[in-house]
Structure 1
Amino acid sequence: MPPFKALALCGLLSTLNNTALAASADQQDWIDLFNGKDLADWAIKIKGSPLGENIHETFRVEDGLLQVRYDNYPSFTGEFGHIFYQKRPFSYYRIEVEYRFVEQQAAGGPEWARRNNGIMYHAQSPESMALDQDFPLSLEYQMLGGLEEGERSTANLCTPGTQVVIGQALRKDHCINSASQTYNGDQWVTVGLEVHGRELARHFVAGKEVMSYRDLQKDDGSAHGSGYIALQAESAPIDFRSVRLLNLEGCMDPSASNYKSYLVKHDAGSCQFNGEE
């Protein structure tokens, strides 16, 4: 092959390789926490019952949906439940959830829990919860359904054992409303959360930011920057169609083969070079 053709071919291959690397760096590696088939990788903790006991089949999978149901309960007597993604805790990430409220609230459920659920994040581990503990220490991305009259925002913040800063004020309110609209009926709603350790959290509904806060803390003022993810069962039947997560912590070295352009927290130990695994 003539030298100039060889050089041109090398240049083309280099360009194609760089283009492929750039595309790979931009490709977002979302993880499906719920596989649509079963509750593998999830741990159930319901107040008054030991870890792993799914009383009255509160949490179940049917028709590809992760469901919370109360049809097997004689009545609800405070059995607040949580289902934890147990494979690992997270610190910097985005999470996206599709949900819809369905049916009627369980008999005996508290008034405030009507069409009420939440994504508990930066939560304590399920193993560390006490037998009769209502809620894990966590921050809660609260999801509310409309009650057909008045306004009732979703994507609110609740703070069991935690506190945050909004603007310049330390907020210790148990729940703080977002700027979202009201979602009545049994419609599907897509919500999102982006959290950067203890520094920042942002709430989204249908891709629109409706709330943000910073300096995530425990009630004693200590930093609170990581933990487990859980979904609630508070007496309101609900379906989850999708629960997925994008880790924002990883290799931020552009020379590494697993570099990702969208990351916000560098983990040097995760970087791979020259085909290393």
Structure 2
Amino acid sequence: MRGAPILLSLLIGVAACAEPSTWQPLFDGKTLGGWTPKIAGEEAGADSRRTFRAEYGVIRVDYSGYDQFSENFGHLFAKLGTDRYRLRLEYRFIGEAVEGAPAWARLNSGVMIHSGSADEMSLDQDFPVSLEIQFLAAGAAHPSQSTANVCSPETSIAIDGERREQHCIYSDVPSKPLGEWVSVEIVVDGADRIVPYVDGVQSIVIEDVLRDSREPLGTGYLALQSEGHPVEFRNIAWQPLPAKEE
């Protein structure tokens, strides 16, 4: 076809002029550089049982150092410095929940949005004031639960313009079985609008996030959860949203 070389040249030119990706990795696949752990009962930055580990290209939430889980809820914080961004990551649950983990925490983890820093948490505080996009998996005890749900520790949200005070609101997105990787993207437009996607499928549209105290939300940080079930995270990256038009 005589037109093929011309078409190919045009495509190459378009690719060359395309803007480079603005996705920035949050995890280098080897270390926890840039991340700060906070385990209930320990000071910020301490993780005496190595709950959070960088191994084989993943961040692993691991309980091999625990004899018993006793509300040792943990979070691993990263600073973005903005409250308007896209976040991408993959997660999967592995193994069995640690002895002593509460029943609700089995096959349960998440990412905390609009959190403050690890240093802002008190010594025994279980969860940061934030908005949680909750990750679940399907297992024998929970064969049909959803994922990309929203939970609100000391916060509240609106959905379709209606204020919702429930701690957790469940999506229609089915979870995947234990051991399968799940791709998540979350579009965070400040406190005004947060939309999670699972494998490209939209979950709940979250609006108007408020702290229960009505004080300003934390900005610039997110945190991965440790609630008692081993879970792995990989391919964690973010990009800032374009500036809002005035």
Fold match by TM threshold 0.5? yes
The answer to whether 1:55 aligns with 2:48 is yes
Percentage identity across aligned positions? 38
Count of aligned residue pairs for this structure pair:
234
Query: CA contact under 8 A between 1:92 and 1:247: conserved in structure 2?
Result: yes
Query: CA contact under 8 A between 1:198 and 1:225: conserved in structure 2?
Result: no
Query: RCO (CA 8 Å, sep 6+): is it higher in 1 or 2?
Result: 2
Tell me, what secondary structure is at the counterpart of 2:119? helix
Q: CA–CA distance in 1 between the matches of 2:54 and 2:215?
A: 38
Look up the equivalent residue of 1:92 and give its one-letter code. R
Q: How does 1:149-188 map to 2 (within 5 A)?
A: 149-188=142-181
The answer to whether 1:265 aligns with 2:244 is yes
Q: CA–CA distance in 2 between the matches of 1:189 and 1:200?
A: 23
Partner of 1:11: none
Shift of 1:197: 0.8
Partner of 1:208: 201
Partner of 2:95: 103
Q: How does 1:1-277 map to 2 (within 5 A)?
A: 23-24=18-19, 27-86=20-79, 88-148=80-140, 149-222=142-215, 224=217, 226-248=219-241, 263-265=242-244
CA distances 1:158-217 after superposition (whole Å, capped 9, x unpaired): 001111110131011110001101211200000111010111110100011111021111
Structure with the higher helix share, 1 or 2: 1
Q: CA–CA distance in 2 between the matches of 1:222 and 1:169?
A: 20
Gaps of 5+ in 2: 1-12
Gaps of 5+ in 1: 1-17, 249-262, 268-277
Query: CA contact under 8 A between 1:90 and 1:122: conserved in structure 2?
Result: no
Q: CA–CA distance in 1 between the matches of 2:176 and 2:14?
A: 43
Closer, same or farther: CA 128–210 of 1 in aligned 2, 3 Å: same
CA distances 1:86-120 after superposition (whole Å, capped 9, x unpaired): 3x432111101101100100000000000111100
Shift of 1:64: 1.3
Shift of 1:22: 5.7
Closer, same or farther: CA 125–225 of 1 in aligned 2, 3 Å: closer
Q: CA–CA distance in 2 between the matches of 1:224 and 1:266?
A: 23
Shift of 1:153: 0.5
